[in-house]
Amino acid sequence: MTALEQLAGWDVPELRGGVGRLDQVAGRLLPWRARLDELGRRLGVAECWSGPAGEAAAAALLELSTVTSGVSGALGSSLVGLQGLTAAAAEAQESAAAALATAAAGGVALDDTGAPVGLPAPPAATMAPDQAAAVLAVRQVGRLAAALAADARQAEARAAGCARDARVLRLAGPARNFDDLTTRVPAATVPALPGAQRPAAVAAWWAGLTATQQLDQLSARPAALGELDGLPGWARDRANRVLLSAALHELPAGEQRATAEVVAAVLAAQERADRPVQLVQFDPATGLVAVALGDLDTAAAVAVLVPGINTTPTDLPGLVGEAIAVRSAAQSAAPATAVAAVAWLGYRTPGLLGAVQLTAARRGGPALDGALDGLAASRARAGAPAPRVTVVGHSYGTVVTGQAARAPGRLAADAVVLLGSPGTSVGRADRLEAEEVYGAWSAADPISTSDFYGASPYDPRFGDVPLPVETSEGHTDYYDHDRPTLAAIGEVVAGTRDDG
């Protein structure tokens, strides 16, 4: 069998299937590693198992996670080469088969390299026209078959190069044991943090670190990591709690220390109530704080509450109380659904005079957009299913939500709820970029009927789905337990509301 015949006989579908199965294995390693890391973190703070045995178990999980990360990264790099190999192999097989078929149809023989053998000499001037045409046809077939054979050999060379690129792990047979596998995993290096710090790039950078590297990074630069959209909730919580502890010990009396004390009191109150809580943003210098009730890394439904004017860190207990109310309403609407609610004070809210302008909303909108993108990116990179995300804006917070929709890219939210909106500054509900837009307004709430920033749910042409309200519902009453709006918000967050 010639080399060309061997190329034509390659089983490309089997190769493609093998690469596909390897891709599935690589994909399953991501969520498995995430579960390992979560178990290791819980074991590190568990009160039920401590001492040398607990420390040894935590260290073993850390090592297993690190090796898993290395294998996952090596498989990912290998898959790039293997996918190139598959494409090149398909091209080589197709060209080789075409060369053989062309040569056979024209009665031309090919040697082992694919070059034509025994081609007739060029036609002589004394030949009859039909004889000359026959000779030219055979020679043309030979040239075409040779060109196809050359294409096949070039594709074969590319396939060989891709195969070399795919050999990231030193595979000399199956690993005999765990220690044997660890020796084959490439040495871990710490990639540089992306300069642009876009959420998707940050999430990719974080996922590329081993568990040990992640913990080292959190210890080395908590201020940089605590504010990064794209990191998982647990990581931002750990970094920001380090910053909070430092602020409580180091800041002198004043506004920044007061912010730290309020945040610490809120976290302590939630932990005493046995509620899971994550500090996903903390910057006392700018007064930016975000607290999540529930686990952002595992929740199936996430609500992000965006407050309006005159909301400062001293108002955080009330904002957290509203987040608790929304979370409870969603859990009541769907008891089997894990819900998280974020009290998001991620922008400097304006005062009454500042609210006349869009300045604060134009700063807060991109920040909100980045927070939503970061949640989506971190979940995707961890191999976790995407949560249902609902933005709940109140008053000027609905204007911020509108500016978030104006930011580049699509708003990473399934639903938007507008409470007491003076307008969103985007004109229509469909410009908020969410599949579902709900609104609540009341005649007893003059802000909600002002349309100060353009059309709002008060405008029948806006295009939202109305939520129930009472005629006496004022501007600050939408989260009240004894009003119908809160239960409806919970149904939206949980994805169970039926407005048909």
Structural domain contains residue 69:
yes
Phi, psi of 279 (to 5 degrees): -95, 95
Q: In this structure, are 235 and 164 located in the same domain?
A: no
Q: Which of these ranges, 134-138, 328-332, 393-397, 429-433, has the smallest mean pLDDT? A: 134-138
Q: In this structure, are 154 and 236 located in the same domain?
A: no
Q: In this structure, are 401 and 433 located in the same domain?
A: yes
What residues contact residue 166 under an 8 Å CB cut-off, 6+ apart?
77, 78, 79, 80, 81, 82, 85
Phi, psi of 417 (to 5 degrees): -115, 125
Q: In this structure, are 167 and 298 located in the same domain?
A: no
∠ CA 24-27-32, nearest 5°, is: 120
Rounded to an integer, what distance in angstroms lies between the CA atom of residue 59 and that of residue 468?
53
Longest dimension (CA), the chain: 110
Between 46 and 498, the higher pLDDT residue: 498
Residue 171 has pLDDT above 60, yes or no: no
Stretch 335-362: mean pLDDT: 93
Q: In this structure, are 96 and 219 located in the same domain?
A: no
Structural domain contains residue 193:
no
Q: Which two tokens stand for residue 483?
A: 């009003």
Structural domain contains residue 132:
yes
Q: State the residue range of the domain holding 144.
A: 3-184
CATH number of the domain that residue 334 is part of: 3.40.50.1820
What residues contact residue 123 under an 8 Å CB cut-off, 6+ apart?
131, 132, 135, 136
Question: What's the structural domain count of the chain?
Answer: 2
Residue among 84, 82, 108 at smallest CA distance from 26: 82
For 483, the 3-state DSSP assignment is coil
Rounded to an integer, what distance in angstroms lies between the CA atom of residue 492 and that of residue 388?
10
Residue 235 has pLDDT above 80, yes or no: yes
For 280, the 3-state DSSP assignment is strand
Check: CB of residue 222 under 8 Å from CB of residue 282. no
Q: In this structure, are 311 and 348 located in the same domain?
A: yes
Structural domain contains residue 141:
yes
Residue 392 has pLDDT above 90, yes or no: yes
Domain termination site, one of 161, 184, 207: 184
The whole-number pLDDT of residue 173 equals 63
Phi, psi of 480 (to 5 degrees): -65, 140
Q: What's the pLDDT tens digit per position in 66-111?
A: 777 667 766 777 777 788 888 888 888 888 888 888 878 888 888 8
Q: Which two tokens stand for residue 352?
A: 């009454």
Structural domain contains residue 175:
yes
Rounded to an integer, what distance in angstroms lies between the CA atom of residue 230 and that of residue 379?
9
Rounded to an integer, what distance in angstroms lies between the CA atom of residue 194 and that of residue 210?
17
Give the Cβ contact number of residue 12 at 10 Å. 15
Structural domain contains residue 194:
no
Could you please report the per-residue DSSP string of 69-121?
HHHHHHHHHHHHHHHHHHHHHHHHHHHHHHHHHHHHHTT-EE-TTS-EESPPP
Element (H, E) at 389: strand 388-394
Rounded to an integer, what distance in angstroms lies between the CA atom of residue 80 and that of residue 391?
38
Phi, psi of 296 (to 5 degrees): -65, -20
Q: Which of these ranges, 45-59, 234-248, 299-313, 432-446, has the smallest mean pLDDT? A: 45-59
Cα Rg of the chain, angstroms = 32
Q: Which of these ranges, 28-37, 66-75, 148-157, 213-222, has the smallest mean pLDDT? A: 66-75
Q: In this structure, are 295 and 175 located in the same domain?
A: no
Q: Which two tokens stand for residue 235?
A: 């990581």
The whole-number pLDDT of residue 207 equals 86
Q: What's the pLDDT tens digit per position in 449-493?
A: 999 999 999 999 999 999 999 999 999 999 999 999 999 999 999
The whole-number pLDDT of residue 73 equals 67
pTM surpassing 0.95?
Answer: no
The whole-number pLDDT of residue 102 equals 84
Average pLDDT, the chain: 88
Residue 50 has pLDDT above 70, yes or no: no
Residue 5 has pLDDT above 60, yes or no: yes
Q: In this structure, are 157 and 235 located in the same domain?
A: no
The whole-number pLDDT of residue 167 equals 66
Q: In this structure, are 375 and 477 located in the same domain?
A: yes
Q: Which two tokens stand for residue 397?
A: 């917070």
Stretch 57-67: mean pLDDT: 72
DSSP 388: E
Q: Which of these ranges, 125-139, 143-157, 235-249, 451-465, has the smallest mean pLDDT? A: 125-139
Residue 298 has pLDDT above 90, yes or no: yes
The whole-number pLDDT of residue 175 equals 67
Q: Which two tokens stand for residue 176?
A: 């005999």
Residue among 407, 409, 452, 411 at smallest CA distance from 430: 411
Residue 140 has pLDDT above 90, yes or no: no
- pLDDT band for 64, please (50, 70, 90 cuts): confident
Q: In this structure, are 305 and 351 located in the same domain?
A: yes
Structural domain contains residue 189:
no
Q: In this structure, are 393 and 344 located in the same domain?
A: yes
% of the chain at pLDDT higher than 70? 90
Q: Which of these ranges, 41-55, 101-115, 198-212, 440-454, has the smallest mean pLDDT? A: 41-55
Residue 161 has pLDDT above 90, yes or no: no
Q: In this structure, are 436 and 351 located in the same domain?
A: yes
Domain termination site, one of 158, 184, 210: 184
Rounded to an integer, what distance in angstroms lies between the CA atom of residue 320 and that of residue 342?
8
Domain termination site, one of 184, 209, 243: 184
Give the Cβ contact number of residue 371 at 10 Å. 24
Amino acid identity, position 115: A
Residue 226 has pLDDT above 90, yes or no: yes
- pLDDT band for 48, please (50, 70, 90 cuts): low
- pLDDT band for 185, please (50, 70, 90 cuts): low
Q: What's the pLDDT tens digit per position in 244-284?
A: 999 999 999 999 999 999 999 999 999 999 999 999 999 99
- pLDDT band for 208, please (50, 70, 90 cuts): confident
Phi, psi of 229 (to 5 degrees): -70, 130
Structural domain contains residue 192:
no
Helices 255-272 and 316-333 pack at an angle, to 10 degrees, of: 30
The whole-number pLDDT of residue 378 equals 95
